Structure 1
Amino acid sequence: MLETVQEGERRVLRFSGTLDAEAAARDWAAAQDAARGAYVLDAAGVTRLDAAGAALLAALPGEPEWREPRDDAARAALRRFREGLAAAKPAPSPAPLPFVARIGAAAIGRATQWRDATAFLGETVLTGGTLALRPWRLRLAELLRHLDEAGMRAFPLCILLGTLIGVILAFQSSIPMRQFGAEIFIPQLVAISLTRELGPLLAGIVLAGRTASAYAAELGTMKVNEEVDALTTMGLDPMAWLVVPRVLAAGLVMPVLSLVMIVTGMAGMALVMASLGYPPVTVASQVRQWLQLGDLAGGLAKALAFGLAIGFIGCRAGLGAGRGPRAVGDAATAAVVGGIVALVVLDGVFAVLFFRLGW
Structure 2
Amino acid sequence: MDDAYQDRDAAVTLAREGDGWRLSLSGRPDLRRMPGILAALGRVEGGPLEIDLAAVDRIDTAVAWAILRTIEDRERHGLGTRIEGARDPVARLLDTVRSALPQPEPSPQRPVGIRAQLEQFGRSVVGIGSSLREVSGTLGLFLARFGQSLARPSRFPLTALVHHCEDVGYRAVPIVSLMAFLIGVVLAFQGSAQLRQFGAEVFVVDLIAISILRELGILLTAIIVAGRTASAFTAAIGSMKMREEIDAMRTLGIDPGMSLVLPRVLALVLMLPILGLIANVAGLAGGLLMSWIELGISPAIFLTRLVENTDVTHVFVGLVKAPVFAVVIGVIGCRAGLAVGSTAESLGRMTSGAVVAAIFAVIVTDAVFSVFFAEMGI
1:135 aligns with 2:153: yes
**Residues 131-280 of structure 1 aligned to structure 2 (within 5 Å):** 131-275=149-293, 276-280=295-299
* Aligned-residue offset at 1:239: 1.4
Counterpart for residue 52 of structure 1: 62
Contact 2:168 2:267 in 1 (8 A): yes
Counterpart for residue 322 of structure 1: 341
* Aligned-residue offset at 1:259: 0.5
* Aligned-residue offset at 1:180: 2.1
Matches of 2:136 and 2:272, distance apart in 1? 23
Contact 1:190 1:266 in 2 (8 A): yes
Structure 2 vs 1, CA of residues 22 and 198 (structure 1 numbering), >3 Å: closer, same or farther?
same
Contact 1:2 1:14 in 2 (8 A): yes
Counterpart for residue 326 of structure 2: 307
Q: Which moved more, 1:19-28 or 1:316-325?
A: 19-28
* Aligned-residue offset at 1:281: 2.9
Contact 1:131 1:137 in 2 (8 A): yes
Counterpart of 1:66 (choices 66, 81, 88) is 88
**Residues 120-131 of structure 1 aligned to structure 2 (within 5 Å):** 120-131=138-149
Matches of 1:302 and 1:249, distance apart in 2? 16
- Per-residue deviation, residues 101-139 of structure 1 (Å, max 9, x unmatched): 552444433433333233232223222222232232121
Amino acid at match of 1:331: M
* Aligned-residue offset at 1:174: 1.3
| Cα RMSD for the two superposed structures | 3.5
* Aligned-residue offset at 1:331: 2.5
* Aligned-residue offset at 1:91: 12
Amino acid at match of 1:120: T
**Residues 340-359 of structure 1 aligned to structure 2 (within 5 Å):** 340-359=359-378
Structure 2 vs 1, CA of residues 269 and 138 (structure 1 numbering), >3 Å: closer, same or farther?
same
Q: Which moved more, 1:20-29 or 1:104-113?
A: 20-29
Matched residue SS, 2:254: coil
Q: Which moved more, 1:305-314 or 1:123-132?
A: 123-132
1:288 aligns with 2:288: no
1:21 aligns with 2:34: yes
Amino acid at match of 2:34: A
- Per-residue deviation, residues 230-283 of structure 1 (Å, max 9, x unmatched): 222323221111111111111211111110011111122222333333333322
**Residues 329-340 of structure 1 aligned to structure 2 (within 5 Å):** 329-340=348-359
* Aligned-residue offset at 1:22: 3.9
Matches of 2:63 and 2:315, distance apart in 1? 79
Structure 2 vs 1, CA of residues 241 and 85 (structure 1 numbering), >3 Å: closer, same or farther?
farther
**TM-score, normalization by structure 1:** 0.79
Q: Percent identity?
A: 35
* Aligned-residue offset at 1:340: 1.2
Counterpart for residue 10 of structure 1: none
Q: Which moved more, 1:185-194 or 1:323-332?
A: 323-332
Structure 2 vs 1, CA of residues 135 and 53 (structure 1 numbering), >3 Å: closer, same or farther?
same
Contact 2:269 2:323 in 1 (8 A): yes
Contact 2:51 2:84 in 1 (8 A): no
Matched residue SS, 1:174: helix
Structure 2 vs 1, CA of residues 122 and 91 (structure 1 numbering), >3 Å: closer, same or farther?
farther
- Per-residue deviation, residues 188-246 of structure 1 (Å, max 9, x unmatched): 22111111101101111221122112112212221222212222232322111111111
Q: Which moved more, 1:55-64 or 1:339-348?
A: 55-64
Matched residue SS, 1:18: coil
Matched residue SS, 2:27: strand
**TM-score, normalization by structure 2:** 0.76
Matches of 2:131 and 2:178, distance apart in 1? 38
* Aligned-residue offset at 1:33: 4.2
Contact 1:212 1:335 in 2 (8 A): yes
- Per-residue deviation, residues 47-67 of structure 1 (Å, max 9, x unmatched): xx5432243688987997624
